[in-house]
Amino acid sequence: MIKQTQTRTISFYTFGCRLNQAETAVIENSFKDPQYTIVDISQPADIVVINTCTVTENGDADTRHLVHKISRLNPSAQIALVGCQAQIQKEKLLDLPNIHWVVGNAKKFDLAQIVQAVDIKPQVITPAIPRESFSIALAGIDSRHTRANLKIQDGCDFFCSFCEIPYARGRARSRNFENILQEAEILTAAGHKEVVLTGINIGTYMFEGKTLLDVIDALEQISGLKRIRISSIEPTTVPKDLIQKMRGTSKLCRYLHIPLQSGSNKILNQMERKYTVEEFVEFIQFAHKTVPEICIGTDVIVGFPGETGEDFQQTFDVLRENPIDYVHVFSYSKRSLAKSRLLKNEISAPTKKQRSQILRDLSNRKRRVFQERMLQTAPEVLFEEKKKDTWLGVTDNYIRVKVRSERNLHNLLVKVQLQQIENQTVAGQLL
Ligand code: SF4
């Protein structure tokens, strides 16, 4: 094994969830070294790092398409596939062109050391994932986005029957409390005003007796940090105190993304979820009553094996009748390690497509109703980017806002009077 000395170009691409984005930012930072020039994914590069996702079969297909595209446009590129798909599919991924490294979740943060060595043969590095709590040495400063992802947790012990994540990411473990605060301080010093707490099952955070609420309390003490947002959180793991906290002057955003997955108790049971529809509804009703301007989003899987028309109708009714403001709709796909692969009564592709469309339409209508409810209020907007003469930003309760202004609003928190809905975005005026 010899060491590489030449300067090389490197690019990064992320599939999947927020946690993957957070982790790509950390990996990218580990390549900030004179030996490398980081370029955009649209540019040819000597090394291309793809952080993969395997939650659905679409995730797998997306990786394959991107790898083929890169190898066609840039035949000399060396590709590193890291993360969940790498962990599960291992050697199988070597059949794809230009793959030089397949690095699973336990070793992906060592990628900079791994690519240092010039090995003729492709490397597959996918050891078992440790169970212990962890620290991350480098902050995931992401200069392209104003809102920074902050990883606090990884893995999951819930083993829902449709999900491969516990196999791809291992058992639930939490990040060292002090190490989280250190990264938050660094991110704030770098100019980030909002952090999004990410993980696989963040409601189960537990480090030396400290819970998710303790993490939020400690982050609130960082003076330059203005907003703390929690990303997706499992029903049954959200303490009511967390909702209470969203009231008043807390920095915690009035936002909850809480996956329902199905509105049928029969299907929830087969999914091996840990709650009933009634418990879910009771909780979101409580959240809505406690914080009337909260935005509540959810995930739903359509076409789980055995989902009858009646089960689907129950899901539709729960979504329609309750304070749920948008829905991310996923079409069920069989995963090779998930228990549900053994279930009979598969749902046909056209039915899944039709049901998905019905829920997407419902989601659009519900989002609009929520936005209408917020018109004429004047929330603070964190501005992120400018497109032509329009600045785009987001409120704490996740309304996308646009404003015409000559001012440079980048990364500023400014009050905006919300005036009218234009294509899923709300146009407003600076106050
Ligand atoms: S809670 Fe269920 S769906 Fe979420 S990661 Fe864990 S096993 Fe997968």
Q: Which of 165, 258, 262, 270 to mutate to test the pocket of ligand 1 (most atoms within 8 A of CB)?
A: 165
Burial of 86 (0-12, 13-18, 19+ CB in 10 A): buried
Determine whether the shortest distance from the Cβ of 156 to ligand 1 is under 6 A: yes
Residue pLDDT, tens place only, 151-187: 999 999 999 999 999 999 999 999 999 999 999 999 9
Confidence check: pLDDT of 2 > 50: no
Give the CATH number for residue 116: 3.40.50.2300
Instruction: Check pocket membership of 338 for ligand 1, CB cut-off 6 A.
Output: no
Any domain includes 142: no
Q: Which residue has the higher pLDDT, 259 or 144?
A: 259
Q: What mean pLDDT, rounded, does the chain reach?
A: 93
- H helix count then E strand count, the chain: 12, 23
Do both 109 and 214 map to the same domain?
A: no
pLDDT at residue 140 in the model:
65
For the segment 219-235, the average pLDDT, to the nearest whole number, is 96
Q: Is the pLDDT of residue 15 over 90?
A: yes
- Is residue 234 within 6 Å of ligand 1 at its C-beta? yes
- Closest CA to ligand 1's atom 8: 163
Q: Is residue 130 part of a domain?
A: no
**Shared-domain flag, residues 303 and 394:** no
- Cα 307 to averaged position of ligand 1 atoms, centre (Å): 19
pLDDT (mean) for 408-424: 95
136 Cβ neighbours under 8 A, 6+ residues apart: 26, 109, 151, 175, 179, 183
- pLDDT for residue 117: 77
Instruction: Report pLDDT for 1.
Output: 47
Identify whether residues 193 and 295 lie together within a single domain.
Answer: yes
The residue whose CA is least distant from atom 1 of ligand 1 is 158
Residue 60: is its pLDDT beyond 90?
A: no
CB 165 less than 6 A from any atom of ligand 1: yes
Is the same domain home to 110 and 249?
Answer: no
Residues 258-296: tens digit of each pLDDT: 999 999 999 999 999 999 999 999 999 999 999 999 999
> Rounded to the nearest whole angstrom, what is the distance from the C-alpha of residue 273 to the centroid of ligand 1?
9
Query: Could you read off the pLDDT of 199-217 as tens digits, one per residue?
Result: 999 999 999 999 999 999 9
Using one digit for the tens of pLDDT, what is the confidence trace for 65-109?
999 999 999 999 999 999 999 999 998 999 999 999 999 999 999
Percent of the chain with pLDDT over 70: 97
In a 10 Å sphere around its CB, with 0-12 CB exposed, 13-18 middle and 19+ buried, how is residue 54 labelled?
A: buried
Query: Would residue 345 count as lying in a domain?
Result: yes
pLDDT given for residue 72 in this prediction:
95
Q: Which atom of ligand 1 is nearest to the CA of 159?
A: 7
The number of the ligand 1 atom at minimal distance from the alpha carbon of 163 is: 8
Ligand 1: centre distance to CA 16 (Å): 14
Q: Do 268 and 154 lie in a common domain? A: yes
**Pick from 339, 357, 374: which residue ends a domain?**
374
User: Per residue in 363-390, pLDDT tens?
Assistant: 999 999 999 999 999 999 999 999 988 9
146 pLDDT above the threshold of 90: no
Q: How far is the CA of 170 from the centre of ligand 1 (A)?
A: 11
Q: What is the pLDDT of residue 4?
A: 54
Same domain, 274 and 296: yes
Range of the domain at 312: 147-374
In a domain, 244, yes or no: yes
How far is the C-alpha of 109 from the C-alpha of 26, rounded, in Å? 8
Residue whose CA is at the smallest distance from ligand 1 atom 2:
160
408 in the same domain as 338: no
Q: Which atom belonging to ligand 1 lies closest to the Cα atom of 273?
A: 2
Q: Judge if 80 and 177 occupy the same domain.
A: no
What is the predicted pLDDT for the residue at 116? 85
Q: Residue 138 falls within a domain, yes or no?
A: no
Predicted TM-score (pTM) of the model is 0.91
3-state class (DSSP) for residue 59: helix
Pocket test for ligand 1, best of 55, 164, 201, 238 (most atoms within 8 A of CB): 201
What is the secondary structure of 99-155 as a DSSP string?
EEEEE-TTTGGGHHHHHHEE-SS-EEE-PPPP-S-B--SS----TT-SEEEEE-EE-
Q: What is the Å distance from ligand 1's center to 200 Cα?
A: 7
Query: pLDDT value at position 119?
Result: 67
Give me the pLDDT at residue 314, please.
98
Check whether 317 has a pLDDT greater than 60. yes
- Cα(302) to ligand 1 centroid in Å equals 16
Q: Are residues 292 and 367 in the same domain?
A: yes
Does residue 227 lie within any of the structural domains? Answer: yes
Cα(147)–Cα(124) distance, rounded to whole angstroms? 33
The band of 139, judged by pLDDT with boundaries at 50, 70 and 90, is: low
- The domain tally of the chain equals 3
